Amino acid sequence: MAADRYDALPTVTPPHMVRAGEAEMINAATSGTHAQAIRVWLYAVAALVVAMVLVGGATRLTESGLSITEWRPVMGVLPPFSNGAWQDVFAKYQAIPQYHALNAGMRLADFKAIYWWEWTHRLLGRVIGAAFLLPFLWFLWRGWIPRELRPRLWLIFALGALQGAVGWWMVVSGLSDRIEVSQYRLATHLILASIIYVALVWTAAARPCPFSIAARAATRARAGALALLVLVLAQIYLGALVAGLRAGYAYNTWPLIDGAMVPKSADLFFETPPWRNFFENILTVQFDHRMIAYVIFVGAAVHAIGVMRNEKARGRVGALALLAAVALQIVLGIATLLLVVPLPLALLHQAGAMLLLTVATLHAANVTARSSFVPAGWDGRAANNPVAAAAD
C-alpha cells in the first residue's frame, strides 16, 4: 500500500533537467533562425549573379566588352572623373583592332556609353565578391555555419575568384588579333557563372524533409531531373557559342535552317579537324543549339508525365513549371531569331535562360533532397532535436 501511494505521487522533474530541456529547444530554434539567415544570404548573392549575367549580355550585345583594356582589380572600381582621364581610357580603346573595325571616328560621348556598360559589369563582379565573402566570414565567426557545409561554401568562393580571372582572360582575347572576344572564352565565362549560380541556389534550397513525407522520388524521376539540369547547362554553353559567333544574325528562319530541317552534312562539317565545326562553324553551332532545345522540351514533357503519373511523387509542381519554362524559352528564342536579335528581346531570352536554370535547379534539388548534402541540424531538425520531433 505504501508503495502504491508513492507511485501515485506526481513526478517532479529536477530543476537542472528543466533548464537543460529548455536549452535544447532554444538551441534548435536558434539553429533554424541561423539557417534561414544563411538561405536569404545565398539567395541574395544568387540574385546578384543573375543581374551580372544580364548586364554581361547587354555588354556583349552593345559591343561594350572591350571598352576597358586594363584589369585593375582594386583601382578599377573608380571610373574616370576628369576630362583628361576620359581621354586617356578612350585613347587606349582607340589602339585596339575593334575600334578601327567597328567604331572608327567614334566620339567621346559615344565611347562613354559603352564604357559604362563594361564598368557596371565589372563593378557587379566586385559587389558579388564582397556580398559573398563578408557575410560568410561573419557567419563563420558567429559559428552559424555547420562544419560540413563550410568546404562547399569555400569552393563557391574560389569559383567566384576564378571567374574574375576567366573574365579578364576572355577580354584579352579581343585586344590584339581579333575585333571581339573568343567564343571559346565567352562560353567558358558564362558556363562558370551558371555553375556558380546553380551551386548557390542548390545550397540555399537544400533542406531535410520530415520523414513522414520524405519518401524519395523514384530513381527515374531523380535521374530525369538531374539530366535536364545538365542539358540546360549545356544549352547555355551552346547559346554562348552562338552569341560569340554572332550566329543569331544568320539563318533567321524557323523551323527550317538553311532551307531544310537538317542542313547538308557538307555544310555542317567542312571545317578540319571535324570537331572545330561544333565550335566555329556558324551553321553547325546554331543547328546544335536548336536541336538541344527540342531535346530538352521532349525530355521535360516525358519527365513531367512520368512524375504526374505517380500521385505520391514529390516534384509534380516543379516538373510542370520546368516544362512551362522550357516552352517559354523556346518561344523567346524563336522570336529573337526571326526578328534578327533586337536588344530588348535578346536580353529577355537571356533572362529566360536564367529563369529556366533556376527552375531546373530547384526541381532537381527537391526530387533529390534525401540524397543531397544536408548537414544535421541545418534547419533545426537534428536527430536529437525535441522541437523537430514534436513537429513530426
pTM assigned to the model? 0.86
Q: What is the mean pLDDT of residues 113-137?
A: 96
Distance CA 142, CA 325 (A): 39
Q: Which residues pair with 260 in a beta bridge?
A: 257
Residues with Cβ within 8 Å of residue 63, at least 6 apart in sequence: 98, 102, 103, 114, 180
| CA–CA distance, 261 with 247 (Å, rounded to integer) | 17
Residues 106, 99: contact at Cβ < 8 Å? yes
For residues 299-310, average pLDDT: 92
Q: Does residue 208 carry a pLDDT above 90?
A: no
Question: What is the per-residue pLDDT for 216?
Answer: 53
Rounded CA-CA distance 174/164 in Å is 16
- DSSP readout, 155-205? HHHHHHHHHHHHHHHHHHTTSSS-SS--HHHHHHHHHHHHHHHHHHHHHHH
pLDDT tens per residue across span 305-323: 999 887 566 788 999 999 9
Q: pLDDT tens digits for 178-190?
A: 889 999 999 999 9
Q: If pLDDT is split at 50, 70 and 90, which confidence band does 391 have? A: very low
b/e per residue 160-173 (b: at least 16 CB within 10 A): beebbebbebbbeb
Higher pLDDT, 367 or 235: 235
Which pLDDT tens digit goes with each residue over 147-162?
A: 989 999 999 999 999 9
**What is the spatial distance between Cα 326 and Cα 328, in angstroms, rounded to a whole number?**
5
- Tell which wins on pLDDT, 309 or 119: 119
> Which one, of 189, 194, 187, 184, lies nearest residue 229 by Cα?
194
In tens, the pLDDT along 257-282 reads 999 999 999 999 999 999 999 999 99
Check whether 9 has a pLDDT greater than 60.
no
